[in-house]
Amino acid sequence: MLARLLKQESGPLTRELVLEPGNFGLGRVPRRLLPAATVSSVCGYCATGCQLKVHLDEEGQAINLSPQAGYPVNLGMACPKGWQALDPLDAPDRATSPLLRDETGELRPVDWNTALEVFVSRFQNIRREHGREAAAFLSTGQIPFEEMAFLGCLWKFGMGFLHGDANTRQCMATAVTAYKQSFGFDAPPGTYADFEESDVIVLVGSNLCIAHPILWQRIMRNRRKPEIIVIDPRATETAQAATQHIALRPKGDLALYHALAHCILRDGRTDPEWIARTEGFEEFARFVRGYEPAAVTEATGMDVETIERLAETVSQPGKRVSWWWTMGINQSYEGVRAAQAIINLCLITGNIGKPGTGPNSITGQCNAMGSRLFSNTTSLVGGHDFENPEHRTKVAGVLGIPQERIPAERSLAYDQILAAAEEGRIKGLWIVATNPFHSWVDSGRLAKLREKLDFLVVQDMYHSTESARVADLVLPAAGWGEKDGCFINSERRIGTLKAVRRAPGLALSDFRILRLIAHAWGCGGMFSGWTDPEAVFRILRDLTEGRPCDITGIDGYAHLDAEGGIQWPFPRGDAPRHPVRERRLFEDGVFPTPSGKARMFVSPPAGLPEEPNDLFPFLLLTGRGSSSQWHTLTRTGKSDVLAKLCPQSAWLEMHPDDVKRLGLRDGARVRVSTRRGTMEAALYQAPTVRPGQIFLPMHFPEVNTLTHPSFDPHSRQPNYKACAARVDAETLRS
Ligand SMILES: Nc1nc2c(c(=O)[nH]1)N[C@H]1C(S)=C(S)[C@@H](COP(=O)(O)OP(=O)(O)OC[C@H]3O[C@@H](n4cnc5c(=O)[nH]c(N)nc54)[C@H](O)[C@@H]3O)O[C@H]1N2
Ligand SMILES: Nc1nc2c(c(=O)[nH]1)N[C@H]1C(S)=C(S)[C@@H](COP(=O)(O)OP(=O)(O)OC[C@H]3O[C@@H](n4cnc5c(=O)[nH]c(N)nc54)[C@H](O)[C@@H]3O)O[C@H]1N2
Ligand code: SF4
Ligand SMILES: [Mo]
């Protein structure tokens, strides 16, 4: 049976391709009847979610691509990564066969049968000897949600383990927690049209020009002559292109937004109707009374006048103000309360539920939003809660599985999983489509933790990643372009991606790998209906019924393609009442909390977890380096075109005054050190960083040997963007 399944799973590309939007009426047309054609596919990098038009040869294989003109997200535009999205598929370091570490310590190619046997026997041993809490998966926001759901359901309901988390913890956990607490559901309210309909756009800790270039293009289409304010310690590309840059002291956000609320309440520039739709306003008002601007000048690095002026700008009566935040807020030891401070400002000024408004978080990875609804990690699949017995009954019913297979507890969070592995309580890890040996905070600890693990499986497109290189077993995965499924972008728009290339060698889509594992584990029957991504899409769709993310009105992939993607919610029968192309949440002022009201949360700012001192005098910030570099460079690093657009080795940005003071010169080799590690970089003299601060792009593996392992207490998101560091001329090394 397994042999038959394997044969079937690794068969040729048999999917019939769907024609392009211009040909919607034709429905499914077998590819072989056509001359060279195109298919549409959502980009697999950032959560902007641009649609690309992929040009195919006679064999149905992608030869080229261009941005899709009619798609409501990108309107015919794409950034360099999107244009070069096919390049990484041809890289020589693709994993083309499973690899198993042998007795000599080398990773050697094995066939799928052997790989599956090892996978199952090792995890079954762990399960038998140490119980369901002794292994965990670490996954991603970068594979279709059909695959994420399969992984999460297989691991927890099929294989019977409890713990699993994803790299979305590094990225969006703060926004998720903030929304859940404030609105009762993880519900980012905006739609991209809001960029074009705002009078004031506030970008907080968000370098849009680099990280979401096409969203910056959407701002450029705004005809209302908007005030564009960037709140970021650095004068980023985005800050320079904006109308105002607020060079906030790092982690001064919470104090600043409390002070803005103070001024707005003091001057009565509020919207009483929206305040009536909140809970906790009185306490909030009392709390911010202590935050007069003069009290926060030190924490924010801003003068009273600037704070007063900003408060006025974001509360002008009759003006539409939208707030958009990204990692400058999320990646902090107090990110949740800072995000909620932004939410509170929108609530008290009525900048929510209307065109051009909203406390909007911009998502990072192509499918981080899909992970939030369907990965079965923090939330029970389909926007449910593990702790809620009614939810468990419902999910068990729809999936046709015994309810006792669904755990009543939540998983440990990412950092807690790693801590448990350090303590020897977690013995096995299965890493899927993420590269934590490079990207996790204080990554030096992972090297030590590796020695403690009995079994490490890495499932990736490449055998060369920092994580794959130290695995016991590498499972070769197909990547974007080699498989079907759906992504959900920042504005909650669900769009499809398509297989337009055959994966190399024995590499299989994550979906197919999961099917094989389910069968080999002996729980294939539980997933007998999970035959292909679209079948799973329909199961997941049915699961969302009655939840705020209800998408029961979507027929299937062809429907999504025909509509130019569909934003959730889209309940059955809802379509006629709403325009399909753009939809924002909370237009009726009702929130999915028990009372229907939004909740207001406040905390005082905490101090930096690691203050600079004489030995480590700089404050180190990290983030994206350029629009052509993606995270750990496993994909973008393979493109010759993208390589020409950015430096190839690590650089450190430092203010000219500091360069001079330290007796260094532009271009010199320097060592950057923190209490945890040290690395070399080329010094780049940059007036864009403030004196006393330095910036490292995250794309080089040594960077996270420096970062500080502190976490937001509510979201458990790592604080990647503030720790104490020193810089020395490289010659001081020996
Ligand atoms: N080219 C490219 N694009 C990407 C990615 C990529 O790797 N490369 N990754 C994608 C992903 S997953 C994500 S999450 C997004 C990230 O997108 P962004 O969040 O826009 O990118 P970052 O550079 O991580 O951080 C944004 C800014 O936060 C600022 N910041 C640091 N500390 C603070 C602070 O205390 N307060 C404030 N207000 N700002 C602060 C930094 O100076 C930085 O400019 O990008 C996505 N897009
Ligand atoms: N210092 C610092 N560190 C950071 C950040 C920061 O700002 N500063 N940002 C954090 C953030 S926001 C994020 S999102 C993380 C990102 O961190 P990671 O998730 O570790 O980074 P990626 O390079 O995107 O890793 C994705 C991996 O999946 C593989 N892959 C791609 N497609 C597929 C697929 O379809 N299937 C399989 N099986 N594998 C696939 C790729 O080859 C790659 O190895 O980094 C975090 N780390
Ligand atoms: S902006 Fe994001 S989604 Fe659009 S092409 Fe670039 S990487 Fe892809
Ligand atoms: Mo991210």
DSSP line for 546-608 = TSTT--TT---HHHHHHHT-EESP--TT-GGGS-SS---S-TTS--SSTTSSEE----PPPPP
pLDDT surpasses 90 at 456? yes
The residue whose C-alpha atom lies closest to atom 1 belonging to ligand 2 is: 698
Q: What is the pLDDT of residue 328?
A: 98
Q: What share of the chain is helix, strand, coil (3-state, %, to 5)?
A: 35, 20, 45
Q: Could you identify the atom of ligand 3 that is nearest to the CA of residue 46? A: 2
Look at residue 607 and tell me whether its pLDDT is greater than 60: yes
Give the percent of the chain with pLDDT over 90: 92
CB atoms within 10 A of CB 390: 9
Q: Is the pLDDT of residue 30 over 70?
A: no
Q: How many angstroms separate the Cα of 482 from the Cα of each of 148, 477, 485, 504?
A: 16, 9, 10, 9
CA distance 375 to 553: 21
pLDDT given for residue 355 in this prediction: 97
Q: Is 84 in the pocket of ligand 3 (CB under 6 A)?
A: no
- 224-264 tens-digit pLDDT: 999 999 999 999 999 999 999 999 999 999 999 999 999 99
For ligand 2, whether the C-beta of 310 sits within 6 Å is: no
3-state secondary structure of 163: strand
Per-residue pLDDT for 410 more than 60?
yes
206 CA to centre of ligand 1 in angstroms: 5
3-state secondary structure 385-405: CCCCHHHHHHHHHHHCCCHHH
DSSP run (H or E) holding 648? none
Position 488 pLDDT exceeds 50: yes
Cα(263) to centroid of ligand 2, in Å?
A: 41
Which atom number of ligand 1 is nearest to the Cα of residue 212?
47
Does 454 score more than 90 pLDDT? yes
List 681's β-bridge partners, or say none.
670
Per-residue pLDDT at 160: 98
pLDDT for 583 equals: 87
- How far is residue 17's CA from residue 32's CA, in Å, rounded to a whole number? 9
Say whether pLDDT at 573 is over 90.
no
pLDDT of residue 184: 98
pLDDT of res. 276: 98
Nearest Cα to 253, choosing from 728, 719, 698?
Answer: 719
The pLDDT, as a whole number, for residue 13 is 41
Residue 711 makes CB contacts below 8 A (sequence gap 6+) with 333, 415, 717, 718, 719
When pLDDT is cut at 50, 70 and 90, the band that residue 28 belongs to is very low
Among 43, 327, 695, residue to substitute to test ligand 1 (most atoms within 8 Å of Cβ): 327
The ligand 3 atom at the shortest distance from the C-alpha of residue 366 is 3
What's the rounded mean pLDDT across residues 416-433? 98
**Does the pLDDT at position 24 exceed 60?**
no
Specify the pLDDT at position 164. 98
Name the residue at shortest CA distance from atom 7 of ligand 2.
Answer: 623
Amino acid at 16: E
Nearest CA to ligand 3 atom 6: 79
**pLDDT given at position 1:** 57
Model confidence pLDDT, tens digit, residues 366-383: 999 999 999 999 999 999
- What local confidence, expressed as pLDDT, does residue 578 receive? 58
Q: How far is the CA of 443 from the centre of ligand 2 (A)?
A: 14
- Region 96-117 average pLDDT: 98
Residue 569, Cα to own-chain centre: how many angstroms?
A: 20
CA dist 567 and 395 (Å) reads 23
pLDDT digits (tens, 9 = 90+) for 682-720: 999 999 999 999 999 999 999 999 999 999 999 999 999
Q: Count Cα neighbours of 308 within 13 Å in the Cβ-side half-sphere.
A: 9
Q: Compute the average pLDDT of residues 180-196.
A: 97
Share of the chain above pLDDT 70, in %: 94
Q: How far apart are CA 629 and CA 644, in angstroms?
A: 11
**pLDDT for 8 beyond 70:** no
Q: How high is the pLDDT of residue 18? A: 34
- Tell me, what's the pLDDT at 579? 62
Contact 345, 120 (CB under 8 A): no
Query: Which of 45, 631, 723 to mutate for ligand 2's pocket (most ligand atoms within 8 Å of CB)?
Result: 631
Nearest CA to ligand 2 atom 31: 433
- Spatial distance between the Cα atoms of 645 and 639, rounded to a whole number of angstroms: 10
If one compares 15 and 509, the residue with the highest pLDDT of the two is 509
**Alpha-carbon distances of 434 from 440, 479, 517, 632, rounded to whole Å:** 10, 12, 19, 9
Question: Could you tell which of 41, 46, 628, 631 is best to mutate to test the pocket of ligand 3, judged by most ligand atoms within 8 Å of the CB?
Answer: 46
Confidence of residue 581 (pLDDT cuts 50, 70, 90): confident
Q: Which ligand is nearest to the CA of 45?
A: 3
Q: Which atom of ligand 1 is nearest to the CA of 326?
A: 19
Query: Looking at the predicted structure, is the pLDDT value of residue 469 above 60?
Result: yes
Ligand 1 centroid to Cα of residue 211, in Å, is 7
Measured CA to CA, the distance from residue 579 to residue 572 in angstroms comes to 14
Return all residues near 734 (Cβ < 8 A) that are at least 6 apart. Answer: none
DSSP code of residue 159:
S
pLDDT band at 571 (very low <50, low <70, confident <90, very high): very high
Task: For the chain, state the CA radius of gyration.
Answer: 25
Structure confidence at residue 490 (pLDDT): 98
* DSSP symbols for 180-217: HHHHSS------THHHHH-SEEEEES--HHHHSHHHHH
| Domains (range + CATH), the chain | 99-170+366-480+505-547 (3.40.50.740), 173-362 (3.40.228.10), 618-728 (2.40.40.20)
- Mean pLDDT in residue range 648-654: 97
Mean pLDDT value across the chain: 94
Q: What whole-number distance in Å separates Cα of residue 643 and Cα of residue 640?
A: 5
Q: What angle do CA 102, 104, 110 make, to 5 degrees?
A: 25
Write the pLDDT tens digit of every residue in 125-150: 999 999 999 999 999 999 999 999 99
Is the CB–ligand 1 distance for residue 478 below 6 Å?
no
pLDDT band of residue 349 (cuts 50, 70, 90) is very high
Q: 574: pLDDT confidence band, cut at 50, 70 and 90? A: confident
pLDDT at residue 20, as a whole number: 36
Q: In angstroms, how far is CA 541 from the centroid of its own chain?
A: 21
What average pLDDT does this structure show over 632-649? Answer: 97
Q: Collapsing DSSP states into helix, strand and coil, what is residue 281?
A: helix
- Predicted confidence at residue 576, as pLDDT, reads 58
Q: What is the pLDDT of residue 196?
A: 97
Q: How many residues does the chain have?
A: 734
Distances (CA, A) of 92 to 62, 239, 689: 18, 38, 38
Q: What is the pLDDT of residue 299?
A: 98
23 pLDDT above the threshold of 50: no
* Chain centre to alpha carbon of residue 634: 17
Q: CA-CA distance, 687 to 696, in Å (whole number)?
A: 14
Give the Cβ contact number of residue 389 at 10 Å: 12
